[in-house]
Amino acid sequence: MSIFSKFPSFRNKASKGKQRITEGSNVTRPGATIILTQAQRFGIGLDDYMQGIRSMENVDFTQRVKIYDIYSESLMDPHLFSVVQKRKSGVLGRKIEFRRNGIPDDKVNEQISSPWFLRFLGDALDAEYWGFTLVQFYINKKGWIDYYLVPRKHVDPVLRIIKTRQNDINGENFDEYPDLLMIQGKEPLGILARTAPYVIYKRGTIGDWAQFSEIFGMPVRKYIYDAADPEALTATMDAARNQGGGSTYFCPEGSNLDFVETGNTTGSSELYSTFVDRCNAELSKAVLGNTLTTEASETGTQALGTVHNKVEQELVEQDALGILNLLNYDMTDQFAALGVNTQGGEFVYVEEADLEQVKVKAELLEKAVNVFNLPLDDDYLYEQLNIERPDNYEQLKAEMEEKKKADNPFAQMMQSSTGKDVPFDKGKDPQQPQNRANSFFADAPHNNGALDW
């Protein structure tokens, strides 16, 4: 049985347009849909960044190659990469489940539990940083859903074309591939457009800092030789090489060497360090909306850190909601074409219980029952405590009631002839027997005499 016979809807849709998008290079794999070109790395300055932004925003001939090379290079920065992964992990760490009428659908959940789904969620979240993500879905040889991430340098999202070479002006229309899915970010330029300048500044500063440390971090050795002796300089240089690395200065007798500095070396080093810290702070604010969840601050307090963490969590919640909207709305046709029935159901996040919150909630419920005497439904308690209700609940409930009566030897004595329990006197210990003789006598009159004799 072929793949397309297993998924007839996918076969019909795929037959209307072209098949798979393939990639290759000028030498290997000729005839591919996309001819890849090596990305430009290192040696990138602010002039390249500004030119890339202008080319990207060109209305008539949009060119994104330069700016996407800068985006790719900027993600080599450890701090930027870590804060991006920190925000993405807030969504990728959640479990997603497909439910129909509140019941998990095993067939759909089997597909989204495979490795492709986690990779897809990561690429979908990258749309916020790059501006968009374009993928093509297909069924692999093992019968599982898979996808191909179209290189962004070969895509023009404005003209909706896929370019064979990254610098081409024309290309194939999206309609030629009906199994494409375009995921748009909130901003056309993406978050990386804000972070790239600080990575460039930071990289240049660290380079200057390294050069400064190399020159002034070790003491300079000064050698004085006799200019009248030709062999003295050679012997002095051989001695310097045998003593290891470091800056050396050879001067004949009568000459001198002076270093002219802008300030003390300690102050200059702090200047570099402060500037790098400032760039890292700006990167954190651009991605996470705060700084205190990634860097320690001398003026930071616990209350301020809580506020910063709340801002970050709000951004994560927005990303999480965007993923659910993508799965429940934008991918409906894609799932149907791939033979996955998602009609009448929805993708939801599986809420995992927080033990600390459950403990606090249990204490509040205990006070509500024992202190305030509030009647609570058993189903509500099961839901709030995140406990699964047993199948033989009614039987266990009846056994508990019988055991409670057996533990109280006066329970049978407290029943009336009608079989109903007689309420205990208010303020009396329910475990102690009551004096029923009190109810035999009537209340004494409250006037001056019992009878008017």
- Tens of pLDDT, residues 224-242: 777 777 777 778 777 777 7
Return the percentage of the chain with pLDDT > 70, whole number.
75
138, 95, 83: which is closest to 323 by C-alpha? 95
Q: What is the mean pLDDT of residues 369-390?
A: 80
Taking all residues of the chain, what is their mean pLDDT, rounded to a whole number?
Answer: 80
At residue 5, the pLDDT reads 39
- HSE at residue 94, side-chain half, CA atoms within 13 A, is 20
To the nearest 10 degrees (0 to 180), the angle between helices 78-92 and 265-288 is 30
At residue 226, the pLDDT reads 73
Which is higher by pLDDT, 11 or 361?
A: 361
- Measured between alpha carbons, how far is residue 201 from residues 15, 67, 77, 276 in Å? 50, 16, 12, 8
Contact 281, 295 (CB under 8 A): yes
386, 387, 381: which is closest to 369 by C-alpha? 381
340, 342, 339, 347: which is closest to 322 by C-alpha? 347
At residue 381, the pLDDT reads 79
Q: What is the mean pLDDT of residues 383-397?
A: 80
Which is higher by pLDDT, 279 or 29?
A: 279
At residue 453, the pLDDT reads 45
Q: What would the 3-class secondary structure string for the chain be?
A: CCHHHHCHHHHHHHHCCCCCCCEECCCCCCCCCEECCCCCCCCCCHHHHHHHHHHHCCCCCCCCHHHHHHHHHHCCCHHHHHHHHHHHHHHHCCCEEEEECCEECHHHHHHHCCHHHHHHHHHHHCHHHHCEEEEEEEECCCCCEEEEECCHHHEECCCCEECCCCCCCCCEEHHHCCCEEEEECCCCCCCHHHHHHHHHHHHHHHHHHHHHHHHHCCCCEEEEECCCCHHHHHHHHHHHHHCCCCCEEEEECCCCCCCCCCCCHHHHHHHHHHHHHHHHHHHHHHHHCCCCCCCCCCCCCHHHHHHHHHHHHHHHHHHHHHHHHHHHHHCHHHHHHCCCCCCCEEEEECCCCCHHHHHHHHHHHHHHHHCCCCCCCHHHHHHHCCCCCCCCHHHHHHHHHHHHHHHCCCCCCCECCCCCECCCCCCCCCCCCCCHHHHCCCCCCCCCCCCCC
At residue 15, the pLDDT reads 44
At residue 368, the pLDDT reads 82
Residue 342 makes CB contacts below 8 A (sequence gap 6+) with 98, 108, 332, 335, 336
Contact 136, 150 (CB under 8 A): yes
Q: What is the mean pLDDT of residues 126-153?
A: 93
At residue 440, the pLDDT reads 47
CA gyration radius, the chain: 38
At residue 62, the pLDDT reads 85
pLDDT tens for 86-99 read 999 999 999 999 99
Instruction: Pick the range with the lowest mean pLDDT from 124-138, 208-222, 319-333, 337-351.
Output: 208-222
Q: Is the pLDDT of residue 125 over 70?
A: yes
139, 129, 229: which is closest to 179 by C-alpha? 139
pTM above 0.75, yes or no: no
Q: What is the mean pLDDT of residues 288-297?
A: 70
Contact 368, 114 (CB under 8 A): no
Q: What is the mean pLDDT of residues 345-358?
A: 79
Produce one character per residue of 295-307: b if its CB has 16 or more CB atoms within 10 Å, e if not. Answer: eeeeeeeeeebee
CA 21/CA 335 separation, integer angstroms: 19
- Measured between alpha carbons, how far is residue 206 from residues 274, 277, 279 in Å? 11, 11, 11
At residue 56, the pLDDT reads 92
Q: What is the mean pLDDT of residues 31-49?
A: 88
At residue 126, the pLDDT reads 97
Produce one character per residue of 37-65: b if its CB has 16 or more CB atoms within 10 Å, e if not. Answer: beeeeeebeeebbeebbeebeeeeeebbb
Question: Parallel, antiparallel, or unpaired: how do β-strands 172-173 and 248-252 relate?
Answer: unpaired
Q: What is the mean pLDDT of residues 241-246?
A: 66
Contact 147, 118 (CB under 8 A): no
Contact 34, 164 (CB under 8 A): yes
Which is higher by pLDDT, 257 or 116?
A: 116
Q: Is the pLDDT of residue 190 over 80?
A: yes
Q: Is the pLDDT of residue 173 over 60?
A: yes
pLDDT tens for 405-447 read 777 655 555 554 445 555 544 445 555 555 554 554 455 555 5
